[in-house]
């Protein structure tokens, strides 16, 4: 029985004319027989969830490097929160929830250890520069499995354009881009308050007055505004007033959390670890794992080293650094 056909018919019947229906996908990089049970976008979602890159997100930095506390966000919990926010909005806007979820779950697969500090370090080291959104696409196209995950064009487009100068071609991709920002602004405030980096009375008064006193109130206000302002429109956006308030909060986070705060005090050490290991592997490529050395048959050394280091978790890169450069005590 072809359950997929019924799901595809339901999409045609229930979704907005502005949504992308699974049956109308531009397809995959390599043709493959469709699944009998799942739509194309549901299949993409499942492939991302079952990937090694997705599992590694649980030990990659969001704001706090290798946090000791159990309640601080990691790159994985950030991804789950983006997915939850985006799915809620997609359902309300009658967009394709499966496409939205797949983009959200895959958007940060290419992020480095140590968060944006790691991204900055690799951007300085890798010829041509490094951007995590481009690496996320590289992960799903080439690095996961033997031939990549072979995702649909729409999911790949959303992953690539969730940040940066490009704009997603689908409303579902635009939605994930907006919800990524909504999610991290709210949960980074929560983490910064929990970590004592900021105090609640420091938050911009206009933002609190417009959005709410608590994190849940602010998140709810932003999501409702995004839905109402985007309803039946060919573009996803907050209202002008809420956009300005949200940008003000984002600027506050950059000034008080992302740059120069105690939460970022270890960033220079983190960058030192990445730069030291990067140069070490350039000088000693035989020290790379066998599967990475195998990739060098198709690409240059810089690309292989960048792929290897960007895929590491915080704790794994620290372990490798200690193994390579920290002397062991004499036990004789």
Cα(104)–Cα(198) distance, rounded to whole angstroms?
28
User: Alpha-carbon distance 41 to 35, whole Å?
Assistant: 11
Residues 253 and 182 in one domain: yes
Which pair of structure tokens corresponds to residue 67? 């946090």
212, 283: one domain: no
| Residue 311 belongs to some domain of the structure | yes
Do 241 and 290 have their domain in common?
no
Q: Is the predicted pLDDT of residue 136 greater than 70, yes or no?
A: yes
Is the separation of the CB atoms in 211 and 218 below 8 Å?
yes
The pLDDT of 274-293, averaged and rounded, is 95
Instruction: Tell me, yes or no, whether 205 and 300 share the same domain.
Output: no
C-alpha radius of gyration, the chain, whole number = 21
Cα–Cα distance measured from residue 172 to residue 183, given in angstroms and rounded to the nearest whole number: 16
User: Is the pLDDT score of 330 beyond 80?
Assistant: no
| Domain count along the chain | 2
Q: Are residues 133 and 276 in the same domain?
A: no
User: Are 282 and 305 contacting, i.e. CB atoms less than 8 angstroms apart?
Assistant: yes
> How do residues 51-100 score in pLDDT, each as one tens digit?
999 999 999 988 877 777 789 999 999 999 999 999 999 999 999 999 99
Q: Residue 264: its pLDDT value, please?
A: 75
CB 225 within 8 A of CB 242: yes
- Bridge partners of 61, per DSSP, are 74
Are 184 and 223 contained in the same domain? yes
Domain range enclosing 280: 267-322
Please tell me the distance from the alpha carbon of residue 11 to that of residue 281, in angstroms, as a whole number: 49
b/e map 46-64, b = 16+ CB within 10 Å: ebbeebebbebbebbbbbb
What's the predicted TM-score (pTM) here? 0.96
Report the chain's terminal Cα–Cα distance, integer Å: 69
**Coil, strand, or helix at residue 298?**
coil
Within-domain flag for 330? no
> What CATH number corresponds to the domain at position 154?
1.10.3210.10
Of 240, 264, 288, the position where a domain reaches its end is: 264
Mean pLDDT of 137-153: 95
Helix (H) or strand (E) holding 131: none
Task: Look at residue 41 in the predicted model and tell me its pLDDT.
Answer: 98
Please check whether residues 44 and 176 belong to one and the same domain: yes
Per-residue pLDDT tens over the stretch 211-265: 999 999 999 999 999 999 999 999 999 999 999 999 999 999 999 998 777 777 7
Contacts of 197 (CB under 8 A, 6+ apart): 256, 257, 261, 262, 263
Using alpha carbons, select from 33, 60, 47 the residue that is nearest to residue 106: 47
The residues, any chain, with a CB within 8 Å of residue 231's CB and separated by 6 or more, are: 93
Contact (CB, 8 A) for 159 and 103: yes
Residue found under tokens 């060098």: 296
Same domain, 137 and 240: yes
Main-chain phi, psi angles of 61, to 5 degrees? -65, 140
**Does residue 12 form part of some domain?**
no
* Whether residues 256 and 281 fall in one domain: no
Q: Based on the domain organization, do 139 and 272 belong to the same domain? A: no
Contact in structure between 62 and 78 (CB atoms under 8 Å): yes
Tokens representing 287 are: 């020290």
E strands along 233-311, which residues? none
Residue 38 token pair = 């799942």
Residue 104: closest CA among 171, 47, 177: 177
Looking at 214, 239, 264, the residue that finishes a domain is 264
Residue that finishes a domain, picked among 241, 264, 287: 264
Residue 201 shares a structural domain with residue 302: no
3-state secondary structure of 276: helix
Question: What pLDDT, on a 0 to 100 scale, did the predictor assign at position 184?
Answer: 96
Q: Which residues contact 307 (CB under 8 A, 6 or more apart)?
A: 138, 143, 292, 295
């Amino acid at each position: 029985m072809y359950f997929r056909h019924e799901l595809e018919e339901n999409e045609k019947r229930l979704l907005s004319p502005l949504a992308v229906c699974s049956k109308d996908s531009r397809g995959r990089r390599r043709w493959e027989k469709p699944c009998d049970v799942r739509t194309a976008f549901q299949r993409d979602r499942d492939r991302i969830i079952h990937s090694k890159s997705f599992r590694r997100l649980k030990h990659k930095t969001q704001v706090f490097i290798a946090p000791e506390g159990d309640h601080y966000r990691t790159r994985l919990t950030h991804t789950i929160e983006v997915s939850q926010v985006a799915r809620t909005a997609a359902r309300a806007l009658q967009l394709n929830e499966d496409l939205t979820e797949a983009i959200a779950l895959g958007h940060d697969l290419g992020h480095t250890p140590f968060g944006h500090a790691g991204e900055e370090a690799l951007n300085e080291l890798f010829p041509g520069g490094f951007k995590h959104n481009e690496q996320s696409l590289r992960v799903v196209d080439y690095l996961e499995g033997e031939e990549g995950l072979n995702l649909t064009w729409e999911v790949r487009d959303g992953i690539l354009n969730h940040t940066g100068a490009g704009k997603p071609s689908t409303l579902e991709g635009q939605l994930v881009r907006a919800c990524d920002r909504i999610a991290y602004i709210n949960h980074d405030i929560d983490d910064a308050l929990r970590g004592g980096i900021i105090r609640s009375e420091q938050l911009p008064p206009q933002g609190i007055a417009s959005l709410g006193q608590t994190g849940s109130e602010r998140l709810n206000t932003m999501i409702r505004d995004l839905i109402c302002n985007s309803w039946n429109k060919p573009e996803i956006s907050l209202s002008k007033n809420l956009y300005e308030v949200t940008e003000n909060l984002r600027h506050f986070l950059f000034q008080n959390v992302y740059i120069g705060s105690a939460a970022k005090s270890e960033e220079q050490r983190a960058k030192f670890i990445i730069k030291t290991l990067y140069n070490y592997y350039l000088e000693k490529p035989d020290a790379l794992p066998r599967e990475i050395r195998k990739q060098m048959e198709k690409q240059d050394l810089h690309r292989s080293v960048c792929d290897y280091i960007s895929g590491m978790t915080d704790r794994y890169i620290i372990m490798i650094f200690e193994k390579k450069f920290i002397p062991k005590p004499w036990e004789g």
